[in-house]
Amino acid sequence: MHGVSLTLKRGRVLALVGGSGSGKSLTCAAALGILPPGVRQTAGMILADGQPVSPGELRGSKIATIMQNPRSAFNPLHTMATHARETCRALGKPADDATLTAVLEAVGLEEAQRVLKLYPFEMSGGMLQRMMIAMALLCEAPFIIADEPTTDLDAVAQARILDLLAGVMQNRGPGMLLVTHDMGVVARLADDVAVMDSGCIVEQGDVESLFNAPQHSITRSLVAAHLALYGLELA
């Protein structure tokens, strides 16, 4: 990646879009300090309110993460209650039953007490993604990275998760970095868009400008594919 610079603001969704291998997920991994083996960062910094911070200072306390594949993000040997309490205690947050139940109900997981007793293999992909979002909310972080949050879900579950994320933005107002290759998701949720190609940001702008007057060839192809499927509506 070269010269990638992104700014997240409370109450706004910044969509990071591009084709497979463009560097979207690697950008998130670099920001969180979880680069894969064999990959290293040679330059760059992260600023929070204008002050340099380390990735370790960001994770959980300032940035919560919603992973691409929720099934691989949970330990199959632990219940949802164990996962949630471990996260809360690591951050010094309340981990009592009432707190966990309230957050699970807020993300649409009915019978929260029953869900807390379940193991990952006992839950659908949609339920696991809701649980992932619940854990992000338990962090009470001012920012969220959502890395392809609907990729592994069926169409119905995708729509429900998008509605849930829209509700999170409306009710809690975090800043969100939404990683996706789906311009329909961008149209549904984003305020601003950054387009990646070959490890570089090739275009940035607000969502309406990007859809109405895309400048870069990559952006034009992404928008054209979306419009061919869904027409001129942005949402």
Residues 6+ apart with CB under 8 A from 63: 31, 32, 141, 143, 144, 145
Q: What is the CA radius of gyration of the chain?
A: 18
Structural domain includes residue 67:
no
What is this structure's pTM?
A: 0.90
| pLDDT on residue 232 | 59
Backbone φ/ψ region at 26: left (φ over 0), alpha (ψ -120 to 50), beta: alpha
| pLDDT on residue 228 | 83
Q: What does the pLDDT look like over 58-108, one tens digit per residue? A: 888 899 999 888 888 899 999 999 999 999 999 999 889 999 999 999 999
Structural domain includes residue 231:
yes
Structural domain includes residue 220:
yes
Asked whether residue 55 falls in the same domain as residue 161, the answer is: yes
Asked whether residue 81 falls in the same domain as residue 156, the answer is: no
Of 140, 163, 183, which closes a domain?
Answer: 140
> Residue 8: which CATH number?
3.40.50.300
Structural domain includes residue 158:
yes
Structural domain includes residue 150:
yes
Asked whether residue 171 falls in the same domain as residue 130, the answer is: no
Picking from 15, 14, 9, 22, the residue whose alpha carbon sits closest to that of residue 200 is 22
Asked whether residue 26 falls in the same domain as residue 86, the answer is: no
Asked whether residue 115 falls in the same domain as residue 87, the answer is: yes
Structural domain includes residue 69:
no
Alpha helices for 3-95 (secondary structure H): 24-32, 55-58, 70-73, 80-90
| pLDDT on residue 233 | 56
Which H or E run includes 128? helix 125-139
Dihedral sign from CA coordinates of 208, 212, 217, 222: positive
Structural domain includes residue 165:
yes
Domain that holds residue 96: 74-140
Note the Cα 126 to chain centre separation in Å.
Answer: 15
Asked whether residue 78 falls in the same domain as residue 57, the answer is: no
Residue 54: HSE in the Cβ half-sphere, 13 Å Cα cutoff = 2
Asked whether residue 225 falls in the same domain as residue 116, the answer is: no
Asked whether residue 136 falls in the same domain as residue 163, the answer is: no
Domain count, the chain: 2
Asked whether residue 154 falls in the same domain as residue 228, the answer is: yes
Of 140, 159, 181, which closes a domain?
Answer: 140
Asked whether residue 56 falls in the same domain as residue 84, the answer is: no
Of 83, 117, 140, which closes a domain?
Answer: 140
Structural domain includes residue 198:
yes
Asked whether residue 227 falls in the same domain as residue 132, the answer is: no
Asked whether residue 233 falls in the same domain as residue 168, the answer is: yes
Name residues of the chain where pLDDT drops below 50.
none
Residue with token string 């957050």: 103
